[in-house]
Amino acid sequence: MKSFLILAVIFFMIACHTSAWAQFLANTQTLGVTAGMPSLGRDAEVGVDYEYCAASSKIAGGLGIGGLFRYYNNVSDGPNFSNKLDRYTFGITGEYHPLIGSGRFDPEFGFIVGYEYWTLYRTSNFPAVSPDSTSNEPRLSAGVSAGVRVWMNDWLAFRLRVFVGDSYSLIGYNNILTAAAVPTAALELGIDFGIQPSHATPLSR
């Protein structure tokens, strides 16, 4: 977690020393990759984000809709058992982007609603105990998010976001572990690639 925070600070220090025009305009699309550090577990999650700016104005800011995919892998080893949780999340997002200054700093506040699927695989050090696995039917998962995107140029931006919601995680201690939906948070750092409409113009320099 400490190294992840250091990396996030370095990225945003670089971003703050660049100049760029406002980029989140009507019909703008962004596609990005994300790495996150959940509050529970020791392993990072990875994913893909897509967002489309459905509307924007110089006064009200922008409204974005999109989707995301997340994959999370958590391994916990005890004295006698090893537990591995794989979690997959597919969701839709809605984000409000208030306009600040030129728009280079692009804050966002929104929600995420989707489906989550997980599998838990357990192995034992005892030869007599066979490995077993369990899985769940896709379940509804929801949460809220807040973050900021910093545009480096016309097509590249760094993104920092905090997500709070409920997700399946390994809970328990050593040999007694299970997968359960619990309140969790995640700090995410991403790189977005923007596709600007041909008629887009900067809000200001």
Cβ-based burial of 24 (10 A; exposed 0-12, middle 13-18, buried ≥19): buried
Say how far apart CA 184 and CA 4 lie, in whole Å: 18
Tell me the pLDDT band of 66, cut-offs 50, 70 and 90: very high
pLDDT of 105 higher than 90: no
CATH class name, domain 2-195:
mainly beta
Average pLDDT score over residue span 83-90: 85
pLDDT of 31 higher than 60: yes
| Tens digit of each residue's pLDDT (9 = 90 or more) over 145-190 | 999 998 888 788 999 999 998 776 655 544 445 556 677 788 999 9
pLDDT of 202 higher than 80: no
CB atoms within 10 A of CB 189: 21
72 touches 90 (CB < 8 A): no
| Tens digit of each residue's pLDDT (9 = 90 or more) over 68-80 | 999 988 777 766 6
> Vertex 91, ends 87 and 95: CA angle to 5°?
130
